[in-house]
Structure 1
């Protein structure tokens, strides 16, 4: 009498299936990472513009209180119109105050 061999159903993934899944994930990452980096730069740029406008408002408050424009960002920090860490944009660009009180971004 011949014995039949029963094959156990093994639940799991084969090596080929796992490699295909890894390939799909890799392709998605190659597409997504450049877009995320581009958006990060865009966010920093908009943050710098908003920060410049906030500093411009503080320059006007300084002028109203002291009847003159500040000479520099350091002058505004010393007088308490800006906090110590508020001298540069979030993306690292520096702010400069002109003689007419206009705040500009120095790249």
Structure 2
């Protein structure tokens, strides 16, 4: 009986190995989510800071707030994916993550 194919035992072993790998990988993905969000927020902060400088060069003054940048099309948003809103110091023109 030399038939090609998998036996039930072989299929169960493969499913067991896949299940074990998933159990090991899924918790690590959850742990990395905070790091990914922080790096994304940092990148947004740098992009908004660049937009503040661009506004300053074109208008010869700093914007009063980040909403002005959004209204004039310099940025699409100033909120991170985790709903953190970037803070802006009008006096120094510095954008920071609270």
Question: TM-score normalized by structure 1?
Answer: 0.71
- Name the residue aligned to 2:62: 69
Flag the structure with larger Rg.
Answer: 1
Structure 1 residue runs of 4 or more that deviate by more than 6 Å after TM superposition: none
Gaps of 5+ in 1: 1-7
Which of 2, 17, 24 is 2:17 aligned to? 24
Deviation at 1:21, TM superposition (A): 1.3
Number of equivalences: 97
Deviations 1:14-68 (A, max 9, x none): 2222212111110101111222333343233212111101111211222233333
Which of 30, 35, 47 is 1:42 aligned to? 35
What is the Cα-based RMSD across aligned positions, in Å?
Answer: 2.2
- Name the residue aligned to 1:102: 94
Gaps of 5+ in 2: none
More helix by share: 2
